[in-house]
Structure 1
Amino acid sequence: MCPKIAEIETVSFTYPVDDAKRDPTAGKLVYSPGETYERTAHGVRITTDTGLRGEYIGATGVGLAQIDLCGEYLLGRDPLKREKHWDALRGILRKYDQMGLGPIDIALWDLAGKHYGAPVHELLGTYRERLPAYASTYFAERERGFDSPEAFADFAETCLDHGYPAFKTHTWTGEGRSDIREEVELIRAVGERVGDRMRLMHDPVCSYETFADAVTVGRACDEYDYFWYEDPLKDGGQSQHAHKRLGERIDTPLLQTELVRGLEPTVDFLDAGATDFARADPDWDGGITGAMKIARAAEGHGLDVEYHLAGPAQRHCMAATRNSNYYELGLVHPDSPLPHTESPVYQGGYTDRIDTIDSDGTVGVPDGPGLGVDYDWEYVRENQVGSRVYN
């Protein structure tokens, strides 16, 4: 007999992120030595009538709110029919950004792996089991931490010494217009220091107020053969027309679609020639199912997909994807033992610590059933700030 879903639980809990704070003017975490930010994380547990359980920690608050709209659909249904449920949940969440689909789908993949006794990447079709990684920095404030272009360059050299083959900068936050001269100095400082030894990327996350500013920084990236230039325009990464025009004026490849949700909008960007790489996030883009659809669509266009941020789901997706270059280990800063995305709930050795890479600049892929990670649910319960059960 097929298992049936008997219960879904969502839970929210807090954990400390050292040497960081949230900039309320930008809604971003910035490197801030000496401060501690209490971050809220979320999890999903799907339990069947046979006792089999799929779990995932990493969801967003928006995603949990949407699970409240669609969770009851899954009760009594076969958890192994992931594609059917993915399609149905997209319909239920059609009026929203569908962020609730991601954590549900990832938990269902974890459950399926446990059912079949195989890691998720094996169910997807393993391509590799070592993933080249890049270090991806925190955002910065000018008063301390990454307080200058040279501070970013110093950290790039530190990451090179760790063994990273690639390095990505995020930019300064704060109110007012970006200082484009300083942005160009950042590109040049890092390029001069390590550009002949590392692949470099730059991601302002939609900070530049004018098209002209984006072109100016893009041309600085050209000078140092940057590997990609990501989400520069202050349009929330939405305008295909603007990014197509930007790409016509610079040589550095563009990486867009992190901030458009799901398969079809990403394909529209590819078809419009508005990006050179696709971006996919299992958490944000419809789970492992949705992220792999984006990867296959990019492959069909002859282009690469780059998975957003670090985590077990991202590792499994990349392990099953030929056309992907680097695993994003971030966000990190010189004093961070862990990236901001890693809550202290992993047992059994899984980590995205900045020093987790091997001498060849790669990270491994969990090989246990499902996601291949064990969560410390005692820690979650001790720091719980909310939960809901559907049964």
Structure 2
Amino acid sequence: MCDRPHREHRVPVPDRGRGDGRERVQPDVRSGETTERKSFALRVHTDEGVTGEYVGGNSPAAAQINTVANYLVGRDPLRRERHWSNINRALRKYDRMGIGPVDIALWDLAGKYYDAPVHELLGTYRDRLPAYASTYGGDRNGGLDSPDAFADFAEDCLDMGYRGFKIHVWGGSDGARDVNREAETVRAVGERVGAEMDLMVDPACEPETFADALKIGRACDEYDYLWLEDPYRDAGISQHGHAKLRELVDTPLLRTEHVRGLEPHTDFVANGATDFLRADPEYDAGITGALKRAKVAEGFGLDVEFHAPGPAQRQCIAAIRNTNYYEMALVHPEAQNTQPPVYRGDYSDMFDAIDTDGTVPVPDGPGLGVEYDWDYIGTNATGSVHVYE
């Protein structure tokens, strides 16, 4: 490798208000306003002229990349497993989220080097991915402001072709939480579309007590929900708590989105604390790390479900047997998904990106199979650019 530029840039999130000045999806953003979030763009250049790229990540990951970047300069970019192992050790005092963007960029580079999509390097299993609609959290003044509103939106998603529907409940403040309303939302959606869609609920660790998780879980049991995710305020990391919850509710648990490290993921399964594993190439140490989690799940006879949409997720799911869905997130009847405008071409993770069968394609170009809009990224750069050479 010759050098690795790492650029921070702004991504606009426009008009997520309701249209009449009242709050909707973001409590602190009103109609007509635009907020911003940071994203990070990574390029890995080589002396053979092949460049690996990835756009994504977050500030903690970027900080960790700064601590390990110089290690990679001058090394063979195709030795991903060795680099993964060495960086995994180097970041052992941290959450290791800095591995993800680097590893994904190295897989993109390998695909371009071999003129093949990443899923082909991994071993292709499928070329279209069934998608489920994963909602924004409940709001207060329109869109998803009641159990019936969630049920109405679930019907709309079913009509579009989505095969599954996941509820993200209300939260963000003490006044916004109401476990009885959350349970009623589970029932309303189950009553309306439960016979025709796979249903999931993700309270996002908002419920404050184990008893709250039981109430939501038992509501899920009434309508055969496919899974219950992040059910209460332990922040998703208590193996004992979730093993106990599994004894008391019938709905399968999906855990480990907020668990960092391969071994703790394995321990969650071995100790009976989850039914599905979660994986995310950004969170879980890249495509290399995500595939390790898929193999752990397979070894235990279980499935792994990938968190969030994106080209790296599509490449992984295309190469894995024991997985069921692609998460189209986040969707809402009145607000667009916040896909960053960093892609050229027709790649899309917007609400209407599915076909009539409810599936999305797997990018089939070399590497991740997408082309980034570097003009847009450069125009919106914050000025924070790091080059290692």
* TM-score bracket for this pair, using the shorter chain length: over 0.9
**8 A contact 1:19–1:335 mirrored in 2:** no
Which moves more between the two structures, 95-104 or 351-360? 351-360
Q: Structure 2 CA distance, aligned partners of 1:117 and 1:18? A: 37
Q: Structure 2 CA distance, aligned partners of 1:33 and 1:152? A: 21
AA of the residue aligned to 2:303 = D
**Aligned residue for 1:24?**
none
Q: Which protein has the bigger strand share?
A: 1
Matches within 5 A, 1:2-13: 5-13=1-9
Q: Structure 1 CA distance, aligned partners of 2:47 and 2:297? A: 38
| 1:152 partnered with 2:150 | yes
TM-score scaled to structure 1, two decimals? 0.94
**Aligned residue for 2:205?**
206
**Aligned residue for 1:383?**
380
Q: Structure 1 CA distance, aligned partners of 2:356 and 2:318? A: 19
Q: Structure 1 CA distance, aligned partners of 2:104 and 2:135? A: 26
Of the three residues 138, 141, 144, the one matched with 2:139 is: 141
**8 A contact 1:255–1:279 mirrored in 2:** yes
AA of the residue aligned to 2:131 = A
1:334-353 Cα offsets, whole Å, 9 max, x none, are 1334x22x210111211111
The offset of 1:31, in angstroms, is 11
Q: Structure 2 CA distance, aligned partners of 1:193 and 1:39? A: 36
AA of the residue aligned to 1:201 = M
**8 A contact 2:199–2:225 mirrored in 1:** yes
Which moves more between the two structures, 247-256 or 7-16? 7-16
Q: Structure 2 CA distance, aligned partners of 1:19 and 1:182? A: 27
The offset of 1:19, in angstroms, is 4.0
**Aligned residue for 2:20?**
none
| 1:252 partnered with 2:248 | no
**8 A contact 1:117–1:369 mirrored in 2:** yes
Of the three residues 122, 125, 128, the one matched with 1:124 is: 122
Change (3 A) 1:354 1:53: same
**Aligned residue for 2:357?**
360
| 1:270 partnered with 2:269 | yes
Q: Secondary structure at the match of 1:138?
A: strand
Q: Secondary structure at the match of 1:64?
A: helix
AA of the residue aligned to 1:352 = D
The offset of 1:122, in angstroms, is 0.3
Change (3 A) 1:163 1:152: same
**Aligned residue for 1:181?**
180
Q: Structure 1 CA distance, aligned partners of 2:50 and 2:230? A: 41
Q: Structure 2 CA distance, aligned partners of 1:83 and 1:29? A: 40
**8 A contact 1:126–1:320 mirrored in 2:** yes
**Aligned residue for 1:323?**
322
**Aligned residue for 1:109?**
107
**8 A contact 2:354–2:360 mirrored in 1:** yes
**Aligned residue for 1:58?**
56
**Aligned residue for 2:11?**
15
**8 A contact 1:228–1:254 mirrored in 2:** yes
RMSD: 1.5
Q: Structure 2 CA distance, aligned partners of 1:29 and 1:197? A: 31
Change (3 A) 1:30 1:110: farther
**8 A contact 1:65–1:100 mirrored in 2:** yes
Q: Structure 1 CA distance, aligned partners of 2:197 and 2:138? A: 21
Q: Structure 2 CA distance, aligned partners of 1:130 and 1:29? A: 33
The offset of 1:29, in angstroms, is 5.7
Q: Secondary structure at the match of 2:235?
A: coil
1:54-105 Cα offsets, whole Å, 9 max, x none, are 0001111111000011000000000000000000101111100000000000
The offset of 1:158, in angstroms, is 1.2
Change (3 A) 1:29 1:284: farther
**Aligned residue for 2:287?**
288
**8 A contact 2:16–2:335 mirrored in 1:** no
Of the three residues 343, 367, 372, the one matched with 2:340 is: 343
AA of the residue aligned to 2:195 = D
**8 A contact 1:156–1:167 mirrored in 2:** yes
| Count of matched residue positions in the alignment of Structure 1 and Structure 2 | 379
Q: Structure 2 CA distance, aligned partners of 1:212 and 1:349? A: 46
Q: Secondary structure at the match of 1:20?
A: coil
**Aligned residue for 2:46?**
48
**Aligned residue for 2:305?**
306
Gaps of at least 5 residues in structure 2 are: 18-24
**Aligned residue for 1:373?**
370
TM-score scaled to structure 2, two decimals? 0.95
